[in-house]
């Protein structure tokens, strides 16, 4: 093997980036880095027992030149004899307000890669970031302002993303291209210093190199220490507060006390969630505003809104949670409804729970375990789980009570009002699962309470998606 590919091979094995049976989707731009990655993975596929396919996105910003890149990638994939997903998207015509071209293109590309991976069963997504990209990213973040997490720069692996070329410099990539006589395309926008990365690459790094010949190794050592320190803090929080962070449909929920030890820990973990779960850039201004709002005495408040980031504080059974979402929590009347067939299991995605419905013979009625309802069973025709509707009411010991009034009494937040599940039997509300939102115990309407000597309807439900 060539020295560079041997280096990458060892790097992959040492870091367990690829295992036998992996199906890898390679993001290929047509430049020398991605063509090197494609060639190396193609050569190594039999040694490591994996398969390789290609994805290319034409941003349509360079006219015939970018279309030429598209044709080039198609031709190279054909020469390798591997499938290729080719896509064109007009980023100029469909520019998103408040986002740079680079940010929008990066988010779109990764979203499409993940979608294809999930749909077609790819186990890994490979990108062609190199050691030089790592150094440029680190410098960019340092000069723009960043914290410990930002100093971690480009991760070697994150979720299904792997970056096997992070062990190679640009000089090593170019030598590999020449040694193997590999064709590639040059993107002229990489010469435009109005883009920050290009300015760092062409104007800043050469000046630093003249004075500090080993600056790249010093920066990479700093990057590794920052990455290790970040992971240590995260691991420590998880060991002190098991299950303190939960992922539910469309949001991340965190116990506030777990991250309130100090200003640094609070900002650190908020930045970690915003970056890794909401996939949004977070700057010091956002974190400062969030920390100030954190000291609010109010229980159910909005701590931050803007830039695709929505952060709320919500209290449930005397425990405060921070809720992170990329969208406002309340968006109109988003109804949901699922049938509950006896003997079946149903997932209620909006509430983040799984529900199982069964019929049991009569036994002495005892207090059911948490997450279990025991109702009387009279051979019902229609059992559903849904959220509230206008005019809904439940029969209680004290008489009929509208859900609108009941939810106000329980001080439910707007999103909790739309989220809390109801068990509805033959068009009558049999139970309210307040415990799903952590606000109170589940309530059963008296007409549906079980009696000895009768069959019972047993409904079990549990949260899923714990991070």
Q: 125 pLDDT exceeds 70?
A: yes
459's CB contacts (< 8 A; 6+ apart) are: 340, 355, 356, 357, 358, 372, 373, 375, 423, 431
Query: pTM of the entire structure?
Result: 0.68
Q: What is the mean pLDDT of residues 289-305?
A: 81
Count of alpha carbons within 13 Å of 390, Cβ hemisphere only? 2
* pLDDT per residue as tens digits for the range 139-194: 998 888 788 888 888 989 988 999 999 999 999 999 999 999 999 998 887 887 88
In the sheet that 301-306 helps form, which strands lie side by side, from edge to edge?
245-248, 251-255, 319-325, 309-316, 301-306
**466: DSSP letter:** B
The closest of 336, 334, 380, 335 to 357, measured between CA atoms, is: 380
Q: Does residue 57 contact residue 89 with C-beta atoms inside 8 Å?
A: yes
Residue 464: what pLDDT?
60
User: Structure tokens of 186?
Assistant: 């040059």
Three-state SS for 227-278 is HHHHHHHHHHHHHHCCCCEEEECCEEEEEHHHHCCCHHHHHHHHHHHHHHCC
Q: How far apart are CA 356 and CA 345, in angstroms?
A: 4
Greater confidence (76 vs 313) lies with 76
Q: 465 pLDDT exceeds 70?
A: no
Q: Does residue 391 contact residue 400 with C-beta atoms inside 8 Å?
A: no
User: In a 3-state reduction of DSSP, which class is residue 323?
Assistant: strand
Residue 296: what pLDDT?
77
Greater confidence (277 vs 396) lies with 396
Please report which confidence band the pLDDT of residue 454 belongs to, taking 50, 70 and 90 as the band edges: confident
* pLDDT per residue as tens digits for the range 32-74: 999 999 999 999 999 999 999 999 999 888 778 889 999 999 9
334's CB contacts (< 8 A; 6+ apart) are: 350, 418
Q: For 56-100, where are the alpha helices, taking DSSP H only?
A: 64-80
Q: 332 pLDDT exceeds 50?
A: no
User: Structure tokens of 26?
Assistant: 């390679």
Q: How far apart are CA 33 and CA 295, in angstroms?
A: 48
Q: 100 pLDDT exceeds 80?
A: no
Q: How far apart are CA 109 and CA 197, in angstroms?
A: 18
Residue 316: what pLDDT?
66
Residue 368: what pLDDT?
53
Please report which confidence band the pLDDT of residue 101 belongs to, taking 50, 70 and 90 as the band edges: confident
Q: How far apart are CA 373 and CA 238, in angstroms?
A: 31
* pLDDT per residue as tens digits for the range 423-451: 999 999 999 998 887 768 899 999 999 88
Residue 410: what pLDDT?
86
Q: How far apart are CA 312 and CA 314, in angstroms?
A: 6
Q: Does residue 279 contact residue 107 with C-beta atoms inside 8 Å?
A: yes
CA 103 distance to own-chain centroid: 17
Q: How far apart are CA 10 and CA 382, in angstroms?
A: 61
Q: What is the mean pLDDT of residues 243-250?
A: 80
Element spanning 158, H or E: strand 157-158
């Amino acid at each position: 093997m060539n020295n560079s590919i041997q280096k990458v091979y060892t790097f992959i094995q040492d870091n367990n980036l690829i295992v036998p049976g992996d199906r890898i989707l390679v993001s290929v731009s047509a430049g020398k880095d991605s063509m090197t990655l494609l060639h190396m993975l193609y050569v190594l596929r039999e040694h490591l027992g994996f398969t390789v396919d290609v994805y290319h996105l034409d941003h349509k910003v360079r006219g015939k030149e970018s279309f030429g890149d598209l044709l080039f990638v198609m031709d190279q994939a054909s020469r390798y004899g591997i499938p290729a997903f080719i896509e064109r998207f007009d980023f100029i015509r469909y520019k998103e307000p408040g986002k740079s071209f680079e940010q929008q293109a990066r988010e779109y590309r990764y979203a499409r890669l993940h979608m294809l991976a999930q749909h077609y069963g790819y186990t890994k997504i490979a990108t062609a970031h190199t050691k030089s990209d790592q150094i440029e990213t680190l410098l960019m973040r340092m000069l723009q302002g960043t914290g410990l997490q930002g100093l971690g720069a480009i991760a070697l692996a994150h979720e299904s993303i792997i970056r096997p070329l992070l062990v190679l410099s640009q000089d090593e990539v170019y030598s590999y291209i020449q040694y193997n006589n590999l064709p590639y395309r040059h993107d002229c926008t990489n010469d435009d210093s109005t883009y920050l990365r290009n300015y760092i690459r062409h104007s800043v790094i050469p000046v630093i190199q003249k004075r500090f010949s080993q600056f790249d190794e010093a920066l990479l050592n700093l990057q590794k220490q920052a990455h290790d320190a970040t992971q240590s803090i995260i691991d420590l929080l998880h060991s002190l507060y098991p299950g303190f962070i939960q992922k539910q449909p469309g949001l991340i929920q965190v116990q506030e006390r777990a991250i309130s030890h100090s200003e640094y820990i609070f900002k650190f973990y908020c930045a970690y969630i915003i970056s890794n779960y909401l996939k949004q850039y977070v700057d010091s201004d956002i974190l400062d505003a969030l920390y100030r709002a954190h000291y609010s005495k109010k229980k159910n408040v909005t701590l931050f809104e803007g830039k695709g980031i929505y952060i709320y504080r919500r209290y449930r059974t005397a425990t405060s949670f921070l809720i992170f979402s990329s969208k406002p929590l309340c968006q109109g009347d988003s109804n949901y409804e699922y049938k509950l067939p006896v003997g079946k299991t149903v997932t209620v995605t909006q509430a983040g729970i799984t529900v199982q419905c069964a019929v049991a013979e009569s036994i002495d009625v005892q207090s059911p375990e948490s997450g279990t309802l025991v109702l009387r069973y009279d051979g019902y025709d229609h059992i559903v789980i849904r959220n509230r509707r206008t005019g809904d009411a439940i029969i209680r010991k004290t008489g009929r009570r509208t859900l609108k009034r009941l939810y106000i009494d329980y001080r439910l937040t707007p999103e909790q009002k739309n989220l809390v599940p109801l068990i509805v039997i033959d068009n009558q509300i049999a139970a309210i699962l307040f415990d799903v939102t952590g606000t109170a115990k589940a309530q059963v309407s008296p007409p549906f309470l079980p009696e000895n000597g009768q069959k019972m309807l047993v409904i079990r439900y549990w949260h899923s998606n714990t991070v």
